[in-house]
Structure 1
Amino acid sequence: MRTRTSLPVLGLTAGLASLVLLSGCGGGGGQAATPNSEEAQRAMQELIDPYLGQPSDFPITEPLESPVPEGTQIAYVDNGNALVSLMYQLMLPAAEELGAELYVVRAGTSASGVQSAFSTVVQQEPDAVINTAIDPALWDNQREQLVDAGIPIVSLGTVADPASGLVQPNGSAAFELQGRLQAAWLVANHDEAVDAVFYEHTEIAYGAAVKEGFESQLEESCPGCTVRVVQIPIAEVGNQAPERIVSDLQSHPDTDAVVFQSSAVATGLPSKLAVAGMDDIEIVGANPLPTNLQYLKDGQSTVELGTDLNTLAWTAVDTAARLIIGQEPQENVIDGEALVHQFLRPEDIAFDPTQGFSGYPDVGDRFQELWDQ
């Protein structure tokens, strides 16, 4: 692997637990690396600066015009994925504060299980539905039935067409930005072109948007950089993924940086990398879980693009409330840009990693002020 010139080498980041399988490599094969232009590095530094040391702006500022009706029920479909289940737990305090009942409908990971769960929701006729990261293509018929029944659907982490009737607070725009920021980090922190690997889950609806953002930004700002895209089945997260990653990196020794679509896939990775003698690889993760944050705090990863899931959970409940009472959501929600990001480095983990990253620890108070008008 080529020696990097700007970033310190940090212990293998098991914490970028998201998507890591590594496939084709773009190594330099002993050739001199291409220098990155100072102009490009400055531009990319300006792009990431607003996300260093502080979170991006709080997403919701407009008051809720009226309370939700007494007895309001909001259905949440949970397919058992760790992130999906976590989001439900984060939404419960928001729903309680709002005065609504948020209840869960269990679904398996199979298409038939998802369809069955959403069919149950259609029959229940709740006041609104919240979905997290379950591809709408898997429940398209039920989506149409819900829309026809006038039941609002808030969908997180999906990239459906606006004509679908879904309101997506963190849609294509937010995920394309994630990819662009990850690419900008690499260019801003490297004096030479980078050979990167990007790990994705094709089963996750937003994956294509992240990849598009990463590839396009890297191509624009670093013509000498290369990236190979490797898919990791979501079923391997939490079990086989670390072995896949290590094997891939061993097959592509010129890889400079590992980029995760989602860091959940890196669970257990640091120890595997250490055993393989590969704990000098740079890792740029995203959407870290508490385990990933602990890895980062321990110096076992380079950087995580943190997503404030707690604020997103409250935003989802807030969006459902507005749709229920007939109030138009904010423009950034409609545009899919209502997501709080912050780059997290080891020195930024001054909080308890087990509690997850929260850019706005007072999120409940902020929404309470908006709801008590």
Structure 2
Amino acid sequence: MNRRRFALGATATLAGLALVAGCGSSKTGTASAIAVDVQTKAKEIVTPYEGRPGAFPVTEKLSSPVPAGTRIAYIDNGNALVSLIFRLMQPAAAELGIDLYAVRAGTSASGVQAAFSTVVQQRPDAVINTAIDPALWDNQRRQLIAAKIPIVSLGTVAAASNGLVQPNGAAAFERQGRLQAAWLVANNDKSFEAVLYEHNELAYAAAVKKGFESELEELCPDCVVRVVQIPITEIGNKAPERIVSDLQAHPDTRGIVFQSSAAATGLPAKLKVAGLKDVQIVGANPLPTNLQYLKDKQSTVELGTDLNTLAWTAMDTAARLIVGQKLQENVDNGDALVHQFLRPEDITFDPTRGFSAYPDVADRFRALWNR
């Protein structure tokens, strides 16, 4: 039976910090061999995403152009990934003739609520949210829906009854977790201990964890998983120290899995200083910095998400909602995210420009939009 342990991130200082399991011992015991047929199954899950991306998410044409003067508000909480997606959306908005503008929100509940309250007062034609938990702005969500203002929400996993359109919702993020688990099983001959570093502040954390744990439970019941919280406010500063402290407290860890590779910013240097070499780093949603680490062989593999295509898909979705067009099933079901496993040899492009599975994304959407 699979042993599951949970370690919660604390707000205490890092000096002398040892993140411990909620129950049981950190000792994994003797590793057992992973059966050949199990590895074969894991490889069958992983292979469709190696060396090529998943299918392009949108194939149906936009039925009519958006009205002149259309305005869309984007909620930007300052997180690097959220801000990046806003920048990637701008060419798509320009192509559609949409005025896309950002409303700044902090990471606190009050800052988020204030930002959404501002948007309610502005009454744009649509709103785009990225990874900010709808529970934090529930009253404003109700007000926007009452005003018949469509909401496209990226990276959230709210129930359909909440009235949000989530192109990359629970289905896409559970797939992320399953793929990361399958990659570890496919690339290890024996059972192992893995740690999943997640951020509860990002709404899709539970979906990634569910996918990762359920797939690993099925493929490798002798493997061990710890789930450790990394506060989102520590990304880019304290996160590497927290991760190193956790790994030192759990020396049997062989797989490091990231909900978002942004948390790994600055980590390779810290791992080197700490002498932590015998670990596999399985990232996801890499930023340009993470892609450079991968190119330099400072990480093992990244589950790349084509954020550029996601940004254009979000604008396409908002446009269809504004003109009253029915959405494609995969968009409506939250499974319109393009994934691809990236190894060091796959970084043949400029990492500073990010990962793009479909470099011709603009041309593809222009054709769909009759531009």
List runs of 5+ in structure 1 lacking aligned partners. Answer: 1-20
SS of match in other structure, 2:51:
coil
SS of match in other structure, 2:124:
coil
Distance in structure 1 (CA, Å) of the matches to 2:107 and 2:229: 18
Corresponding residue for 2:370? 372
CA displacement 1:191-249 (0-9 Å, x = unmatched): 11111111111111000000000000000010111101111111111111111111111
Corresponding residue for 1:245? 243
Q: What is the number of residues matched between the two proteins?
A: 352
Quote the offset at 1:354 in angstroms.
0.3
Corresponding residue for 1:111? 109
Q: Are the aligned partners of 1:26 and 1:226 in contact in 2 as well (CA < 8 Å)? A: no
SS of match in other structure, 1:197:
strand
Quote the offset at 1:22 in angstroms.
6.0
Matches within 5 A, 1:172-187: 172-187=170-185
| TM-score, normalised by the number of residues in structure 2 | 0.93
Corresponding residue for 1:329? 327
281, 284, 297: which one pairs with 1:283? 281
Matches within 5 A, 1:120-269: 120-269=118-267
Q: Which runs of 4+ in 1 moved over 3 A?
A: 21-29
Name the amino acid aligned to 2:239: A
Q: Are the aligned partners of 2:73 and 2:101 in contact in 1 as well (CA < 8 Å)? A: yes
Quote the offset at 1:146 in angstroms.
0.4
Corresponding residue for 1:343? 341
Distance in structure 2 (CA, Å) of the matches to 1:320 and 1:208: 26
Higher relative contact order (CA 8 A, sep 6+): 1
Name the amino acid aligned to 2:316: D
Name the amino acid aligned to 2:134: P
CA displacement 1:264-287 (0-9 Å, x = unmatched): 001111111101111332111100
Distance in structure 1 (CA, Å) of the matches to 2:114 and 2:299: 40
Corresponding residue for 1:59? 57
SS of match in other structure, 2:303:
strand
Matches within 5 A, 1:304-319: 304-319=302-317
Distance in structure 2 (CA, Å) of the matches to 1:249 and 1:80: 29
CA displacement 1:77-107 (0-9 Å, x = unmatched): 1111111111110000000001111011111
Q: Are the aligned partners of 2:284 and 2:302 in contact in 1 as well (CA < 8 Å)? A: yes
Quote the offset at 1:26 in angstroms.
6.7
SS of match in other structure, 2:253:
coil
SS of match in other structure, 2:128:
strand
CA, structure 1 residues 270+100, in 2 after alignment: closer, same or farther (shift >3 Å)? Answer: same
Distance in structure 2 (CA, Å) of the matches to 1:186 and 1:77: 35
RMSD: 1.3
SS of match in other structure, 1:365:
helix
Distance in structure 1 (CA, Å) of the matches to 2:200 and 2:281: 20
Quote the offset at 1:27 in angstroms.
5.4
Name the amino acid aligned to 1:185: W
SS of match in other structure, 1:166:
coil
SS of match in other structure, 1:291:
helix
Quote the offset at 1:140 in angstroms.
0.4
Distance in structure 2 (CA, Å) of the matches to 1:64 and 1:46: 35
Distance in structure 2 (CA, Å) of the matches to 1:308 and 1:251: 35
List runs of 5+ in structure 2 lacking aligned partners. Answer: 1-17
CA, structure 1 residues 22+363, in 2 after alignment: closer, same or farther (shift >3 Å)? Answer: farther
Distance in structure 2 (CA, Å) of the matches to 1:229 and 1:361: 35
